[in-house]
A and B are shown apart, each in its own frame.
Chain A
Amino acid sequence: MAPNKGYIRQAWLVLALAACFGGALAGVQASLSGRIAENRLSDTMSQVPALVSGAVRGEPDKSFGELTVYRALDASGRQVGWVLSARGQGFADVVQLLIGLDAEARTITGLYVLDQKETPGLGARIAETAWRGQFVGQSTAKPLEVVKSAPAAKGRIQAVTGATISSESVTGIVNAAVAHFRQVLAAAGEKQANG
């Protein structure tokens, strides 16, 4: 018992502080987590009108399992498109995107970079309107391709100069998310038709 007693005498301050700080952090988390989640959601929602033309607000749709999907609604509450939240590895860290689609998920209507930590001035330019604009109007039937010179045809995205990896990451995330969503949507549509 003697050595144990010694340990407690030595470490009681560490244990007490750990308990105090743990309690304080739990309190902070409990009081702020709602607000933080709200910030994330409002950042997403504020982008919906820019992502889907005619939309004024978004509404979370929980029926897609692990996919985070929002229905884009117009002023009268009619659905005019979809917004997908997708993430994947970029050059530096995880890139989080919002992808706008039309109501049938046939065309990409917008792209927004929700979170990225790519190289400022190079990879971070994926967040610029001019680059993101290339995705608008692209068909979702075929995966998009990244090219290094001005694209000659639809279905191609010109990489940001000096940031091919970031450009390919974003395009890959978009392709994967859109393909997955279309699959789920088609399956749901079939189920509805049969049922």
Chain B
Amino acid sequence: MANGLPSTLKRFTNGILPENPVFRQILGICPTLAVTNSMDAAMTMVVAVAFVLICSNIVTSLIRNLLKPHLRILVFTLTIAAFVTIADRLLAAYVYEMSKKLGPYVPLIIVNCIIIARCEVCASRQRVVASVADALGQTVGFGLALAAIASVREILGFGTWFGLPVMPSIWPSWVIMILPPGAFLTLGLLMGGANWIGRAWRARAAAPRPAGA
């Protein structure tokens, strides 16, 4: 774009790995730690966050030229809170069991920094198309991160994946993986791994190509 902001495609791909909200930006850690002890809960959270993120980005992008700099955070919060409440009611009405399971973590999406960060960084500066691409990219990144953490925790902690048994029945379920310490351990190890791989990729990209290759 003319103003030096990333293009629509770049916005989408950035969210997946280079600017992954969990592993690179370290945002939205509260739901990441709290609802990743089973895949179904984690994926419901991802869908709820996706809904709020996409809707908030669209609204913010549409009103971006009307925003007053000192009132913008207030407007972002208002927008996010409205969509979170809608998401919470929809979950309670159509997937009641899951809404019971997620408990307070759905209303807490209001304070999920991924969403307000995207309103500030992208949606308040770019067109709707770029903002939607950005929201989708961040959602995919958030979803991949939560799926990775929840898979490790559910398989080791319960011996199941999406509630289906995947480990041999003699597997002694590691209770610690379901409890909060398991969330921190898994997040730390996976974040370290993701950054290690990212560094290796960048080093390879920067290295001069050997002659004749």
Interface residues of A (CB under 8 A from B): 10-11, 13-14, 17-18, 21, 24-25, 28-29, 32, 35-36, 39-40, 43, 93, 115, 117, 119-122
Instruction: Provide the residues of chain B in CB contact with A43, threshold 8 Å.
Output: 96
CB pair B71 A32 closer than 8 Å: no
The interface-forming segment of B43-51, B73-81, B199-207 is B73-81
CB pair B82 A14 closer than 8 Å: no
B81-94: CB near A (< 8 Å → 1, else 0) gives 11001100110111
Check if B121 is an interface residue, CB within 8 A of chain A: no
Bound complex: CA A11 to CA B67 (Å): 10
CB pair B86 A117 closer than 8 Å: no
CB pair B79 A21 closer than 8 Å: yes
Give the number of chain B interface residues (Cβ < 8 Å): 26
CB pair A17 B78 closer than 8 Å: yes
CB pair A11 B71 closer than 8 Å: yes
CB pair A28 B89 closer than 8 Å: yes
Bound complex: CA A165 to CA B126 (Å): 52
- A10, A25, A122: the one within 8 Å of B86 (CB): A25
- B78, B81, B86: the one within 8 Å of A28 (CB): B86
Check if B187 is an interface residue, CB within 8 A of chain A: no
Closest to A22 in B: B82
CB pair A120 B37 closer than 8 Å: yes
CB pair A115 B85 closer than 8 Å: no
Closest to B102 in A: A117
Closest to A20 in B: B82
Bound complex: CA A119 to CA B180 (Å): 9
Bound complex: CA A179 to CA B67 (Å): 59
CB pair B89 A36 closer than 8 Å: yes
CB pair B103 A117 closer than 8 Å: yes
- B79, B85, B100, B103: the one within 8 Å of A17 (CB): B79
Check if B189 is an interface residue, CB within 8 A of chain A: no
In the complex, 29 of the A-B residue pairs with CB atoms within 8 angstroms, ordered by the A residue number, are A10-B68, A11-B71, A13-B71, A13-B75, A17-B75, A18-B78, A21-B79, A21-B82, A25-B82, A28-B85, A28-B89, A28-B90, A32-B90, A32-B93, A35-B93, A35-B94, A36-B92, A36-B93, A36-B96, A43-B96, A93-B103, A117-B103, A119-B179, A120-B178, A120-B179, A121-B175, A121-B178, A121-B179, A122-B179
